[in-house]
Structure 1
Amino acid sequence: MSGAARLAGKAAVITGGAAGIGAAIARRFVEEGAQVLIADIDDANGETLARGLGANACYRHCDVSQVGQLNSAFAECESRFGRLNVLINNAAMQSTHDFEQTTELEWERIVAINLKAVFFGTREAIAFMRRAGGGAIVNTSSTFALVGSPGYAAYHATKGGVDSVTRAAAVALIKDRIRVNSVCPGTTMTPGLVSSVRATAADYDAAMASYAALQPMRRFAEPAEIANAYVYLASDEASFVTGERLVVDGGYTVV
């Protein structure tokens, strides 16, 4: 734990917390003094991560497309840790399909996980955060909320929606002392990125090199670099910050 624990006394639920950026957020939160419930459908990685983080972390299986499971995760956090102060709406799925290739079923699944879960996760957290005297919600958006690309049509749509829901919720929940912000990560070296490139590229190394060459810093972000943004927005250091999106992309969207 750091010398001045920035999240001491806070209890958080992190959806999609078993791997990648979500796991990095969980680690950083525990380092900064928070108690964390990791909510995911990846039971093996989630349980292993929670055990490794010690008494201040636990894991719960949670399909974020099911509103009742989100509510149950929040209730467990409150029961186990005494409160729910922070919600990280991080769970998401990608699709590399363009408009013509995207099926109705695929669209509905991506919307359910990437956007519906953010809206209803926020809605269900309100009562818990009121009992805690307020809180902070941080939604995972994407640079794809800001720029276009030939593929990822449904993913683009949902991440634009996440940013819009973030702004709406921020204004609506000021009265409840609940701040709502989003983080737009750039390309990050996660297991999801690796598996996606391996599945779609004929030459993995060449593809990764070409993607890195598109980055102004000529590299991808490390998950911990993205997680630091969530620490700030969840902490009292961001007490006057709401309705904002924090872009952490190594300059990708400004060149």
Structure 2
Amino acid sequence: MGRVSTKNVIVTGGARGMGAAFARKLVDEGATVVITDVLGAEGAALAAELGDSALFLPLDVTDEAVWNDVVAQAESKFGPVSGLVNNAGIVHVDPIEKLSEADYRKVIDVNQLGVFLGMKAVIGSMRKAGVGSIVNISSTGGIIGYSNIIGYVASKWAVRGMSKTAAQEFAPDNVRVNSVHPGIVATEMVASSDRSTSIAAKQPIARPGTPEELANLVLFLISDESSYSTGSEFIADGGFTTQ
């Protein structure tokens, strides 16, 4: 208990799945958490479950003005922001020749632009806090390629590089930036996919990961236990990318 008791953390895409697991773990370990999502009812219910240490705010991560308002409300409620988990993301499945420009851009806007706007929005608050840790959730799709999801892969490779650039720029402010690269994780979406289950069965660790396992990694990166790590990739994929 108490590994992040001095931290005020914003989690995007926090209403369900991995984001909800991140929020629960951080609150359990003493942080205050601002849960953001476009899923209002689910986000509000999770914040109510977590009690006084949590606040839900609606957020479209592609909207810079709303980002700035979220940071202002987080400061007003809990003080300067010292942690950010850029978790919100979408995927669109289509081969390149059938993928529309609009669908490609939508994935890039949420997965890549959203991360940029989040980092831009919080850095001033982290300077006030005197310390910060930003965790950008990428994917094994930011390490290798996958067919039929070119927008997703492009965005997740971008997040990997963006994290390294931000790590260099923000280091003088005592703010660290790292990327996390999950493989197959047993969220609501993956649980219904026979393909994901069959892929996981062939990994060295022959099962999907759990949201809680990814939450343990995010907790480590938000905490001061990872104080010498910045600009790095942290892969949690059951060994999938070793094959």
Which TM bucket (shorter chain)? Answer: over 0.9
Q: Which amino acid aligns with 1:6?
A: R
Answer yes or no: is 1:161 the counterpart of 2:158. yes
Determine if contact 2:91/2:107 at 8 Å carries over to the other structure: yes
> Which residue is equivalent to 1:111?
108
Determine if contact 2:206/2:238 at 8 Å carries over to the other structure: no
Determine if contact 1:187/1:220 at 8 Å carries over to the other structure: yes
> Which residue is equivalent to 2:92?
95
Q: Which amino acid aligns with 1:248?
A: A
1:189-215: CA deviation from partner (whole Å, max 9, x where unpaired): 1112245x3xxxxxx5xx454233233
Structure 1 runs, 4 residues or longer, greater than 4 Å off: none
- What secondary structure, in the 3-state scheme, does the structure 2 residue paired with 1:100 have? helix
Q: Which amino acid aligns with 1:216?
A: P
Determine if contact 1:102/1:154 at 8 Å carries over to the other structure: no
- What are the within-5 Å matches in structure 2 for residues 68-79 of structure 1? 68-79=65-76
Question: When the two structures are superposed, what TM-score results if normalisation uses the length of structure 2?
Answer: 0.97
1:176-233: CA deviation from partner (whole Å, max 9, x where unpaired): 11100010011001112245x3xxxxxx5xx454233233222100100011111011
2-structure distance, mates of 1:148, 1:214: 18
2-structure distance, mates of 1:51, 1:224: 20
- Residue among 23, 37, 62 paired with 1:40: 37
> Which residue is equivalent to 1:27?
24
> Which residue is equivalent to 1:56?
53
User: Mind listing any 5+ residue stretches in structure 1 that lack a counterpart?
Assistant: 198-203
2-structure distance, mates of 1:26, 1:141: 18
Q: Percent identity?
A: 39
- What secondary structure, in the 3-state scheme, does the structure 1 residue paired with 2:206 have? coil
User: Mind listing any 5+ residue stretches in structure 2 that lack a counterpart?
Assistant: none
Answer yes or no: is 1:179 the counterpart of 2:144. no
**CA-based RMSD:** 1.2
- What are the within-5 Å matches in structure 2 for residues 1-255 of structure 1? 2=1, 5-194=2-191, 197=193, 204=194, 207-255=195-243
- What secondary structure, in the 3-state scheme, does the structure 2 residue paired with 1:137 have? strand
